[in-house]
Chain A
Amino acid sequence: MSQYNFGFLDEFAKKEIRRCTIKAVAIPGYQVPYSSREMPMGRGFGTGGLQLTLSLIGENDTLKVIDQGSDDSVNAINLRDFIEMTCPGINTTTSTDKADIIQSRHRIPEKELKEEQLIVLQVPYPDPLVIVEPSEEKRKQMHGEGDYSRLLVKLYEDLIKYKEITISHRYPTRINDGYVIDPSPIPRWDVPKMHQSKALILLGAGREKKIYAVPPYTDAKPLAFDDVPFRVEDFCDKRGKRRACSKCGSVSSFLDEFVDSTNGKTVYQCSDSDYCAEYCAAQSKQPFEESIDG
């Protein structure tokens, strides 16, 4: 790999991405276009997040890469390996606490991030307006004028059809009372974590060539009606009891749902593997293997 520059990208490319990142931080929620580089992996595999990470990481930085909350999924491992390979001298970790930079797909860690940390989210579709307006030119106008009425109409239509807002991921969120962003495919559960976050949140869309940011201590408010407030997933069973993680027993984390292929029962488990392990350790017990309930 010696023929490659540190961080795979050449210094000009990094510089451009950093400039766009600064602009994104300066205009919270604004989608800054950038010249997304070809990466040695298909677009849609997190190249937007990867380019952000590669342009920001330095020797001695500690990196954590997660995919759907897990450090051990194929995607997370491949990305981490690639960054380790092209950035000699960096450290990697699975611990949220120890990481300087967290690159993530689909989740924000359960544990509150700190001021000195930064999280990079991989984004497939950066523009929340794409579901209501196919023309990018018109979408830009709508962003410019703060006209998000059609997104609110979408919420209205959800409410009349299903009596609740059905958007589960990519919940449109207004940053600093200005631009509305698509906060990448994080679940509703993670949206409040962006509000007044101590850590800088950067979002990168490789295929769509956009970078945007939620700067630290910035308002991030999910779109909602005055009388129909935003709410997160409640993870309650039919009797209204909060489900617990079948591994660690936590009742305060985002749960993934599996079907146990041996007995066909539904199993709930923490999506954030680091959180789950730490929760187990804190209670100094082994992760229990029994499923709790279906």
Chain B
Amino acid sequence: MDKVLEVKNLSKVYGKGCADCFGLTGPQADTNICPSCGSVVAAHDVSFDLYKGEILGIMGESGSGKSTSVKCLFFDEEPTSGSAVFYDDGKQYNLFTLNAAQQRQLSSRRFGMVYQNPYLGLNFDISAGGNIAERLLMSSISHFGAIRERASSLLQRAEVPTARIDALPKTFSGGMQQRVQIAKALSTYPPLLFLDEVTTGLDLSVQAAILDLIMEIQQEIETAMIVVTHDLGVIRLLAGRTLVMKYGRVIESGLTDQVLEDPQHAYTQRLVASAL
């Protein structure tokens, strides 16, 4: 099995931070705000591995640090400490020591990101096809016809009617916007895809169709994915392994069915017990 990503001791503190930050926050302290200096410990000591074609779930409530961790890996946020190694095509990239240009190079070509809020992932002033074109053009594809063809087939794959390729995303439904985001994220066939609460706020039937699409893609191109969600149903269907986070810490990790049926930590037990 090929390793795609190895994250070690990832931490992210918002604020100036102090020596007590990590000791005085976390699930035991029942807070992620440091009582001595007021900094927010959004994530601390997050470690995990990800293999080719694997889907890893990160589960937790709002403010648990699940999105922060993913944003650090996608370079949307700068981590306070920790390391992450990305293995790609026989090469290794130490993500947090790369310069900004190298990071953007990776995130625009080798990573994909689908945000909960389509406004973050899509440019609403340009057409659906144009959004996909942008990512392709970053990868130095400069043939208009080829770009058009690729954008069209990606939209079709994401079950967006190709007749709407030239429509602006704001004229699309929420589910359709997520599909365009997914098509855009996949346009470079990235080996690593981040999905941040992608089905939150969508109708159940639309959710199912999006999950379906994600699973199909995972099987087709063996993209490794990190799925961030607070929805246990999504985790159960998608993820082989799951991390549970609370107050910035990973409090439990394991095979997804084990985490859901035999949760070890009090918080996970409560979370699972209160699921609808």
User: What per-residue 1/0 map shows which CB atoms of B95-139 lie under 8 Å from chain A?
Assistant: 000001100110000000000000000010011011001110110
- Cβ contact within 8 Å between A153 and B101: no
A selection of 25 A-B contacts at a CB cut-off of 8 Å is A141-B100, A141-B101, A141-B104, A144-B101, A145-B105, A147-B104, A149-B138, A150-B134, A152-B133, A152-B137, A153-B130, A153-B133, A153-B137, A156-B129, A156-B137, A156-B147, A157-B127, A160-B130, A160-B166, A161-B166, A226-B142, A226-B143, A227-B143, A227-B144, A227-B146
B134 touches A226 (CB 8 A): no
From A149, A159, A161, residue with most partner B Cβ within 10 Å: A149
Question: CB of B145 within 8 A of chain A?
Answer: yes
B140's nearest neighbour on chain A, judged by CB, is A149
Asked if A228 is at the interface of the complex by the 8 Å CB criterion, the answer is: yes
Q: How many residues of A contact B (CB 8 A)?
A: 17
Chain B residues within an 8 Å CB radius of A152: 133, 137, 142
Which single residue of chain A is at the shortest CB-CB distance from B134? A153
Interface of A is mostly: helix
Q: How far is the CA of A286 from the CA of B100 in the complex (A)?
A: 63
Q: Are A227 and B145 in contact (CB under 8 A)?
A: yes
How far is B105's CA from A203's CA once the two chains are assembled, in angstroms? 31
Residues of A within 8 A of B (CB): 141, 144-145, 147, 149-150, 152-153, 156-157, 159-161, 225-228
Give the CA-CA distance A157 to B127 in the complex, in Å.
7
Tell me whether B101 and A145 are in contact (CB under 8 A). Answer: yes
Minimum CB–CB distance for A276 against chain B, Å: 37
Residues A156 and B144 in contact, CB atoms below 8 Å apart: yes
Interface residues of B in 125-174 (CB under 8 A from A): 126-127, 129-130, 133-135, 137-138, 142-147, 166
A153: chain B residues at CB < 8 Å are 123, 126, 130, 133-134, 137
The interface residues of chain B lying within 8 Å CB-to-CB of A159 are 144
In the complex formed, the residue of B with least CB distance to A226 is B143
Given A145-B101, A149-B137, A149-B138; A156-B130 close (CB under 8 Å)? yes
